Amino acid sequence: MSFKKVQLSELSFNPFKLIGKDWMLLTGGSSDNYNTMTASWGQLGVLWNKDVLTCYIRPNRYTFEFVENNEYFTASFFGEQYRQALSFCGSHSGRDCDKAKEAGITPAALDGCTGFEEADMVLVCKKLYSYDMKAESFISDDNLTEKFYSSDPYHRAFIAEITAVYVRE
Ligand SMILES: Cc1cc2nc3c(=O)[nH]c(=O)nc-3n(C[C@H](O)[C@H](O)[C@H](O)COP(=O)(O)O)c2cc1C
């Protein structure tokens, strides 16, 4: 594995593509006890004068426990050749299998967290704030509650400071 640490200001990407189309792996825990899942919802931006990533995890995900119980988590981004691996991690639970092994990706210890050797970029994120989404907070529902929450639980949002950025050399 060979990652180098860079500054966020050195990067240039389209966050709508990066998160929404390419997807990411959200990973909580240290490399000997972690879980990871695919996510395609989230934001990158600025809050409280800090560079932050916000992500949304339903509490029934196994990954939820790892993100909830650790101060830090990571967001790993991959090239198109890992689409299959991300699809696998987004449709299987770490409760039932060794996802990384089955998906053919390799956990990598980074700042006490877990990223993946095959990732093009890993953001190390320190949780600052979390809140639960709820039905009564929708201002304009637009059928979103019915579409996304009729059978699945509401997401918990995690707003996290990006404390380090690693890119593969
Ligand atoms: C493309 C894609 C995007 C996803 N985005 C999210 C998300 O943003 N939040 C979420 O809670 N689940 C999301 N999921 C679902 C989880 O990845 C999926 O339920 C996964 O199997 C959970 O694994 P775990 O139980 O090991 O945590 C997504 C799945 C896919 C395929």
Ligand 1 centroid vs 90 CA: distance in angstroms?
5
- CB of 23 within 6 A of ligand 1: the answer is yes
Quick one: which of 17, 100, 20, 26 has its CA closest to 58?
Answer: 26
Ligand 1 atom nearest to 94, measured from its CA: 26
Q: Whose CA is nearest to atom 15 of ligand 1?
A: 90
Per-10-residue mean pLDDT for the chain, 169 residues long?
A: 91 97 98 97 98 98 98 98 98 97 97 97 98 96 96 97 97
Ligand 1 atom nearest to 58, measured from its CA: 11
State the residue range of the domain holding 61: 3-168
Phi, psi of 106 (to 5 degrees): -120, 120
**In total, how many domains does the chain have?**
1
Ligand 1 atom nearest to 55, measured from its CA: 8
Q: Whose CA is nearest to atom 6 of ligand 1?
A: 39
How is residue 20 annotated by DSSP?
I
Ligand 1 centroid vs 6 CA: distance in angstroms?
28
Residue 24: CATH number of its domain: 2.30.110.10
Say which residues have a Cβ less than 8 Å from residue 32's Cβ, sequence separation at least 6.
Answer: none
| Residue owning tokens 């949304």 | 56
- CB of 92 within 6 A of ligand 1: the answer is yes
Rg (CA), the chain: 15
Structure confidence at residue 1 (pLDDT):
60
Q: Taking the model in full, what pTM does it have? A: 0.98
Token code pair at residue 60: 């029934």
Which among 21, 25, 36, 38 is the best mutation to test ligand 1's pocket, defined by most ligand atoms within 8 Å of the CB?
38
